[in-house]
A = this chain, B = another copy of it.
Amino acid sequence: MRIALGQFNAIVGDLTGNAEKMRDIYAKALDSDVDILVFPEMAICGYPPEDLLHKKHFLDDNQLTVEKLAADCPDKTLIVGFAGNYMGGNYNSAAVLQASGIVKVYNKALLPNTGVFDERRYFQSGTSPTIIKVSGLNIAITICADIWDIEWLAKFLKDAGEIQMILNISASPFHLGKIKKRQEVISQCAKKFNCAVAYCNLIGGQDELIFDGRSMFVDSTGQNIIKAKAFEEDLLIADITKTADGTVKVEPAQPTRPQPAEAIDEIYQALVLGTKDYTQKNGFKKVLLGLSGGIDSSVVAAIAVDALGSESVIGITMPTKFNSPETISDAEKLAENLDIEFMTIPIESTLQKFNDSLTSVPGWDDKGIAYENLQARIRGSILMSLSNQFGSLVLTTGNKSETAVGYATLYGDTAGGFALIKDVPKTLVYELAKYINKINNRQVIPTDVITRPPSAELKPDQKDSDSLPDYDLLDKILKGYVEQDKSAKQLIESGLPQEVVHRVIGMVDRNEYKRRMSPPGIKITPKAFGKDRRLPITNRYSSQ
């Protein structure tokens, strides 16, 4: 039996477009003479459709789209994920299409409701397995989380008879380290049931999430036979045959795909895909961003150029008297290196006027923090004005470390449409900068940008280190507090300095409101700000 995994980039809500893509992939699969063609979880409507699932007409359109796809693809068995709606219940479903019709529907049983997932908000659990027989093989259909609890799955399938293959359609989002865990789960599943596993994952960026693909075939010993491309569409084909001893053989029908070698490759590719998809799926032709000559905006610009092409990225520098000639020239140099449009809009005189109007207010301090932040707000207003005028998307450049501690001006440098490196800790921003220079075989990001001590340049001789701990230390504390939900006590016991731990935790807690009103960004860590971490703004609890 020949099986193809149609790992493609489904767009949320674009039912017609997704079905069209699937028809194109079907045509290709016919050429390769496959028996089954598999598409990811929710391939019809994209994932996650969120509260679109509360619209009856959306569910009806899902059903109609699956039916039409069945009619358009009559000659093979297709498995396709969609939002199912039967007798008043909603399900995360997989349709089995054969001979122009929907012959069976499997409903996902294990519904994740943690992290970024809200499936119990929308779906009821399916209660019975679906086994199909294709070319003499018994195939159990599962959806994503169904295989992540192997003991449960064994009970669920206990009356299913002999199975040669478990098919899993997924919309499994990327974060660093996820592929290792995913591979383990799939291998365990194969070994437990002594069968092949065919795993078909989505790819693409959807708001905060990146689906990384890497669909795969695993044999009954748990060995990975072939894995599809990461962060790209792919059609992965293998042959599965019963052997004399009753087990199955899994053979790739294609050459191996190159895989990301290191963590940094994965992160970089995730950021590129996320930027490309957020921009293009939302209909933007160009992006613009403020270039300060600092490392954050330099890395964001470089990623945007890789994602969208240099003709689609505009860099704007908006200096005041506090910006040094060195950083201004580095911004310009970066723009040259990236070959992007570059504009200088000095804001000193606007700042002066703005400040003049505020000096009428008793108590206004024209050297204080509000005055510093006013500069960021003027810049935010300029970028948003240009976005407004020209229809381009504003990329903000805040990293995870500063987003965590609120080292940012609300409605200033947080003003924009997409926060590309929101989940990238500052220490990793440095690694990315070096990586970008490495893969380009040249100093795209000027060395000075990487080596100069970071500064917001909002007052004379300012350094990040005046307000924040050293980034190495800060990122360690943030990992423990934000990603691992550790208490101050635990962090201090692990060897981190008491005073800094308390200070950082206080900053993180106090700045929830800023994060709530900031744009979405790309999740790359196990716990990102956004849907992944939902804390109240009004909150008197202290983890001290």
CA distance in complex: A15, B543 (Å): 12
Report chain B residues within 8 Å CB of A494.
none
Q: Is the CB of B385 within 8 A of A381?
A: no
Task: List the B residue with the shortest CB-CB distance to A48.
Answer: B536
Taking a contact as CB atoms closer than 8 A, the residue among B51, B282, B352, B380 that contacts A538 in the complex is: B282
Answer whether residue A156 sits at the interface, using C-beta atoms and an 8 A cutoff. Answer: no
Whole-angstrom distance between the alpha carbons of A415 and B412 in the complex? 10
The yes or no answer to A347 lying at the interface (CB within 8 A) is yes
Question: A51 vs B415: C-alpha distance in the bound complex, in angstroms?
Answer: 26
Q: Which residues of B contact A14 (CB under 8 A)?
A: 540-541
CB of A370 within 8 Å of the partner chain: yes
Interface string of A479-519 (1 = CB under 8 A from B): 00000010101100000000000000000000001001111
Across-interface contacts of A378 in B (CB, < 8 A): 354, 381
Instruction: List which A530-544 residues lie within 8 A (CB) of chain B.
Output: 533-543
Question: A541: nearest residue on chain B (CB-CB)?
Answer: B13
For chain A, residues 324 to 375, give those with C-beta under 8 angstroms from any C-beta of chain B.
343, 345-347, 349-350, 352-354, 356-358, 360-361, 363-365, 368-371, 373-374
Contact with B along A51-84 (1 / 0, CB 8 A): 1101111100100000000000000000000000
A419, closest chain B residue (CB):
B517
Contact of A384 among B120, B281, B411, B417 (CB under 8 A): B411
Q: Are B58 and A541 in contact (CB under 8 A)?
A: yes
A265 vs chain B, min Cβ distance (A) = 25
CA distance A55 to B540 in the complex (A): 14
**Which residues of B are found within 8 Å of A27, using beta-carbon distances?**
none
Q: Shortest CB–CB separation between residue A16 and chain B, in angstroms?
A: 9
Partner of A17, one of B113, B369, B540: B540
Is A147 an interface position by the 8 A CB rule? no
When A13-B541, A389-B363, A389-B365 are in contact, do A535 and B357 touch as well, CB less than 8 Å?
Answer: no
Cβ contact within 8 Å between A388 and B373:
yes
The answer to the question of A207 belonging to the interface, with a C-beta cut-off of 8 Å to chain B, is yes
With A374-B381, A541-B58 given, is the CB distance from A350 to B357 under 8 Å?
Answer: yes
Cα distance, A120 to B123, chains bound together (Å): 12
> CA separation between A541 and B54, bound complex, in Å?
13
The reply on A285 being an interface residue by CB < 8 A is: no
* A347–B355 alpha-carbon span in the complex (Å): 11
A11 / chain B contacts, CB cutoff of 8 Å? 538, 540
- Against B, the Cβ 8 Å flags (1 = close, 0 = not) of A288-330 are 0000000000000000000000000000000000000000000
Q: Which residues of B contact A533 (CB under 8 A)?
A: 51
Chain B residues with CB under 8 Å of A520's CB are 516, 537
Complex Cα distance A380/B415, Å?
12
Instruction: Determine the residue in chain B with the shortest Cβ distance to A277.
Output: B538
Kindly identify which residue among B282, B374, B538 contacts A207, using a CB–CB cutoff of 8 Å.
B538
Which residue from chain B places its CB closest to the CB of A388 in the assembled complex? B370
A386 on interface, CB distance cutoff 8 Å: yes
Interchain CB contact under 8 A, B51 and A534: yes
The yes or no answer to A49 lying at the interface (CB within 8 A) is yes
Q: Is the CB of A377 within 8 A of B385?
A: yes
Asked whether any CB of chain B lies closer than 8 Å to the CB of A118, the reply is: yes
Asked if B350 contacts A363 (CB within 8 A), the reply is no
Q: Are A389 and B370 in contact (CB under 8 A)?
A: yes
Contact A381 B377 (CB under 8 A): yes
A201 at the interface (CB under 8 A from B): no
| 20 more A-B residue pairs beyond the given contacts A205-B538, A343-B361, with a C-beta to C-beta distance below 8 A | A12-B541, A13-B542, A51-B535, A52-B535, A52-B539, A56-B485, A114-B121, A118-B118, A282-B513, A282-B538, A354-B381, A354-B382, A354-B385, A361-B386, A377-B380, A380-B381, A381-B411, A384-B411, A516-B519, A517-B519
Can you list 22 A-B pairs with a CB-CB distance of less than 8 A? A12-B540, A13-B536, A13-B542, A17-B540, A49-B536, A51-B533, A113-B113, A121-B534, A207-B537, A343-B361, A345-B360, A346-B357, A350-B350, A350-B353, A354-B381, A368-B389, A370-B389, A377-B381, A377-B384, A411-B411, A516-B519, A520-B537
The 10 A-B pairs at the shortest CB distance, nearest first, are namely A13-B541, A370-B388, A14-B540, A370-B389, A57-B487, A377-B381, A13-B540, A353-B353, A411-B415, A13-B539
